[in-house]
Amino acid sequence: MSVELSGEEPAVRGLRERKKERTRRTIREEAFRLFREQGYSDTTVEQIAAAADVSPSTFFRYFPTKEQLVLADDLDPVLIEAVRAQPPGIAPLTALRNAMTDVYEGLSAEAYAFEQERQALVYHVPELRSAIGREMERNIEMVATIMAERVGGTTDDFEIRVLAGALTGAGLAVARITPINPENIGRMLDLLEAGLPLSREQ
């Protein structure tokens, strides 16, 4: 028999969590609308909060900075679970490829468009590009964790860190010139798996 230590019914907690998620989503949607209309640099936290019908203090409970509102990648936990759901016998890069394809193909058209817009902001707005280094470090740790789980290693294993760095760096390089989507992810992984062959058409 389970005991609810909080004294709060699960349905009440579920309702509260859904309300929080709606508020968070509204803040981001209104922020991106303002970014499109007047630019990232000219949009203030106060304007975003007013558009989302919340106070600035509420904004900061969800996002510590305006920068983090864009950098926060909601697909990360979904991707981690998708990799963990892959059969144990397949190669790590194949598991990652399948998981990323499943995640992107499972997005609604609206969510897919939002993610493409978010990536474009990260890589093309000067104020946000300065944070790419921190994002790379975070992504390397995330990929290293996923790969270590797949092969039974640790995140400090040399080979795992090289693989995590290669995948993260390749993703960054691709995102600067073309959207990250299942097709481009597949092309990127094909090149990595083939040993990065380079050729020029004559």
Q: Tell me the per-residue pLDDT of 34-88, one tens digit each, with 9 for 90 and over.
A: 999 999 999 999 999 999 999 999 999 999 999 999 999 999 999 999 999 999 8
Q: What are the structural domains, with CATH classification, of the chain?
A: 10-64 (1.10.10.60), 73-193 (1.10.357.10)
Q: What percentage of the chain has pLDDT greater than the value 90?
A: 70
Mean pLDDT score across all residues of the chain: 90
Tens-place pLDDT, residues 85-118 = 999 889 999 999 999 999 999 999 999 999 999 9
Mean pLDDT of 2-12: 56
Out of 7-16, 46-55, 118-127, least confident range:
7-16
pLDDT for the residue 124: 86
Q: Is 107 helix (H, G, I), strand (E, B) or coil?
A: coil
Tens-place pLDDT, residues 19-38 = 999 999 999 999 999 999 99
pLDDT for the residue 4: 45
Which two three-digit tokens encode residue 72?
């926060």
How many other β-carbons are positioned within 10 Å of the β-carbon of residue 7?
Answer: 6
| Burial class, 163, CB count within 10 angstroms (exposed 0-12 / middle 13-18 / buried 19+) | buried
Cα distance between residue 59 and residue 28, in whole Å: 10
pLDDT for the residue 121: 92
Which alpha helices (DSSP H) does 45-156 contain, by range? 45-51, 56-62, 66-71, 75-84, 92-105, 109-124, 126-129, 132-151
Which two three-digit tokens encode residue 137?
């470090």
pLDDT for the residue 3: 41
Tens-place pLDDT, residues 144-181 = 999 999 999 999 999 999 999 999 999 988 888 888 88
Mean pLDDT of 112-125: 90
